[in-house]
């Protein structure tokens, strides 16, 4: 099915519709959901209760503090911190939604046999004076830090990995699991196989060029420490602002 709403409209309803379509009665199927979440507009508490209208209104981003350029934060650090807080609340809700998806797959008898991939197209930056979503010299560790969860069919255990992975690895992984020979020239490598170690850098595609950055640009980031200083290490810390 197709969710009959705009990208940033009715995201709770989009998820519910997707879950309803995930049935173990169907033949082997590709289920794909491009849900713009925890993307702006940031308007949900972690419980799922909205505190603002949805449907594509991005005005709450409000870059008027000092950054009039598109998607550039102003220099008011307190303002940026509050937007970061709102974003993290939606990240917590995204975690709840992921739990709902796993519960649905289990109840339909699909979880053990499915290939499940959860990812995003880019990270987001909350540094005053920096761009929110486009790569710069000072925000590469945030923009290139993308969540990626992969559960293989029949997989019963797992854990975190420091493997240098790029989004171009997702399609080769799907083809490998399905036993389909990849076409010639396909970039990336299957995550269902051991790391070849051939990749040493981290690539980022812009509309004009491909930029190559050090492979450890995310691993050596100090940003997690900065976030913990702001909000603490427990979920309740998000409200200490």
**What's the pLDDT tens digit per position in 157-211?**
999 998 999 999 999 999 999 999 999 999 999 999 999 999 999 988 877 888 8
Q: What does the chain look like in DSSP terms, one character per residue?
A: ----S-TTS-HHHHHHHHHHH--TTSSS---------SSSP--B-TTS-BSS--TT--GGG--TTT--STTB--S-HHHHHHHHHHHHHHHHHHHHHHHHHHHHHHHTT-TTT--EEEE-S------TTSBSSS--TTTHHHHT---EEEE-TT------------GGGHHHHHHHHHTPPPPTT--S--TTS-------EEEEE-SS-EEEEETTTTTT--HHHHHHHHH-SSGGGGG--
* pLDDT of 7 strictly over 50: yes
Grade residue 68 by pLDDT with cuts at 50, 70 and 90.
very low
pLDDT band at 131 (very low <50, low <70, confident <90, very high): confident
Confidence (pLDDT) at 137: 83
**Beta pairing partners, 148:** 119
pTM (2 d.p.): 0.88
Q: 61: pLDDT confidence band, cut at 50, 70 and 90?
A: low
pLDDT digits (tens, 9 = 90+) for 212-236: 999 899 889 999 899 999 998 887 7
Listed in sequence order, the residues at least 6 apart from 181 whose beta carbon sits closer than 8 Å to its beta carbon are 175
Burial environment of residue 230 by CB neighbours within 10 A (0 to 12, 13 to 18, 19 or more): middle
Query: How high is the mean pLDDT of the chain?
Result: 87
What integer is the mean pLDDT of 12-31? 88
């Amino acid at each position: 099915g197709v969710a009959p709403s705009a990208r940033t409209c009715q995201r709770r309803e989009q998820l519910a519709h997707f879950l309803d379509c995930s049935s173990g009665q169907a033949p082997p199927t590709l289920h794909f959901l491009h849900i713009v979440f925890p993307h702006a507009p940031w308007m949900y508490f972690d419980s799922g209760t909205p505190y603002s209208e949805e449907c594509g209104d991005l005005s709450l981003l409000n870059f008027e503090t000092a950054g009039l350029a598109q998607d550039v934060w102003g220099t008011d650090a307190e303002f940026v911190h509050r937007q970061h807080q709102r974003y993290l609340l939606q990240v917590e809700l995204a975690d709840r939604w992921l739990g709902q998806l796993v519960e649905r797959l289990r109840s339909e008898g699909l979880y053990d046999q499915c290939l499940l991939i959860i990812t995003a197209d880019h990270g987001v930056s909350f540094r005053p004076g920096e761009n929110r979503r486009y790569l710069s010299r000072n925000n590469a560790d945030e923009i290139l830090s993308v969540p990626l969860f992969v559960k293989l069919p029949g997989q019963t255990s797992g854990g975190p990995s420091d493997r240098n992975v790029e989004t171009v690895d997702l399609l080769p992984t799907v083809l490998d699991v399905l036993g389909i020979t990849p076409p010639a020239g396909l970039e990336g490598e299957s995550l269902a196989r051991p790391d070849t170690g051939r990749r040493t850098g981290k690539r980022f595609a812009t509309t004009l060029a491909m930029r190559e950055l050090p492979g450890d640009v995310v691993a050596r980031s100090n940003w997690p420490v900065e976030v913990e200083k702001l909000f603490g290490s427990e979920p309740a810390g998000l409200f200490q602002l």
